[in-house]
Amino acid sequence: MTTLALKHINKTFGSGQNKVYALKDVSFETAPGDLTLILGPSGSGKSTLLTILGGLQTPTTGDMVVNNQNIKKLTQHQRETFRLNEIGFVLQSYNLVPYLTVSDQFTLVDHVKKQDNLDDADFEQVIKQLGIEKLLHQYPSELSGGQAQRVAIARALYANPSIILADEPTAALDSDRVIQVGQLLQSIAHQQNKSVVTVTHDIRLKEFADHIYELVDGELTQVK
Ligand SMILES: Nc1ncnc2c1ncn2[C@@H]1O[C@H](COP(=O)(O)OP(=O)(O)OP(=O)(O)O)[C@@H](O)[C@H]1O
């Protein structure tokens, strides 16, 4: 089971007078079975933190440790394999492919990651839990924001990663759906023993979280 840790991470953008300190001495750890919420206002560094956790950006200084192994010591190929097999992203922009039906969004995953995706029974359960079973033949342009978001969550789960990183997964959802998504994220963590890390400013998700952090101006503090 994969444990992910950040140790004294700093991330800056730009230089000189334009230098932005997006993350300041951030240390963080997540283990299987944990649903972790990182709360922070716009511009606090949430997306930067999530993309570093997912290996999409590298920190300026500090270490990232995966299963007790420093990611800096992995080859490029090993890092890509780690990202493909272990990380599932649910991004704010949903990242659905516009010319593919919902059903084909999952088929696409099979082309990129050929093994160990959900079997038919687990897939059916996920799409039922997310209430998207009637949308499988629709195109992304025919979906509401909330529907697209639920499809994006299902697609991340389909690849059966051990770590799910979600960027504002409830932004476009009404309160009933927030409860459903909160319960779903919780059951993925608790019942499937995955690490789920969600960055958000939606405090409605707090009741579902095992651990809560606050990110303010790039500084991370654990509050639960
Ligand atoms: N590629 C970049 N180049 C320069 N500055 C950046 C870059 N990415 C992020 N920043 C800056 O780093 C800070 C943190 O940004 P980040 O997007 O991580 O915040 P956020 O909390 O996710 O915000 P939002 O909720 O609005 O997406 C901001 O000041 C932002 O302008």
Q: Which of 12, 13, 15, 199 to mutate to test the pocket of ligand 1 (most atoms within 8 A of CB)?
A: 13
- pLDDT class of 176 with cuts at 50, 70, 90: confident
Question: Mean per-residue pLDDT for 120-127?
Answer: 91
The answer to whether the CB of 147 is under 6 A from ligand 1 is no
pLDDT in tens, 9-56: 999 999 999 999 999 999 999 999 999 999 999 999 999 999 999 888
Contact 36, 211 (CB under 8 A): yes
What's the token pair of residue 76?
């490029």
pLDDT number for residue 197: 96
Residue in the structure block whose two tokens are 């704010």: 92
Q: SS3 of 129, please?
A: helix
Question: Mean per-residue pLDDT for 114-142?
Answer: 92
The answer to whether the CB of 11 is under 6 A from ligand 1 is no
- Quick check: 201 pLDDT over 70? yes
Question: Mean per-residue pLDDT for 112-118?
Answer: 88
pLDDT number for residue 56: 86
Residue in the structure block whose two tokens are 């991004």: 91
- Quick check: 68 pLDDT over 80? no
- Whole-number Å distance, alpha carbon 91 to ligand 1 midpoint, is 14
> Helix/strand/coil (H, E, C) string of 146-174?
HHHHHHHHHHHHHCCCCEEEEECCCCCCC
Percent over 90 (pLDDT), the chain = 57
The CATH class that applies to domain 4-222 reads alpha beta
pLDDT number for residue 1: 60
Q: What whole-number distance in Å separates Cα of residue 89 and Cα of residue 148?
A: 14
- 131 — alpha (psi -120 to 50), left (phi > 0) or beta? left
Residue in the structure block whose two tokens are 């687990």: 122
Contact 110, 94 (CB under 8 A): no
Q: What mean pLDDT is reported for the chain? A: 90
Q: What whole-number distance in Å separates Cα of residue 77 and Cα of residue 212?
A: 33
pLDDT number for residue 2: 60
Question: Mean per-residue pLDDT for 205-213?
Answer: 96
Q: What is the DSSP letter of 117?
A: P
pLDDT number for residue 112: 87
Q: Which residues does 67 contact at the CB level (< 8 Å), separation at least 6?
A: 2, 3
The answer to whether the CB of 43 is under 6 A from ligand 1 is yes
Q: What whole-number distance in Å separates Cα of residue 196 and Cα of residue 27?
A: 17
Q: How distant, in Å, are the alpha carbons of 83, 118, 192 from that of 55?
A: 7, 23, 23
- Quick check: 104 pLDDT over 80? yes
- pLDDT class of 204 with cuts at 50, 70, 90: very high
- Quick check: 63 pLDDT over 90? yes
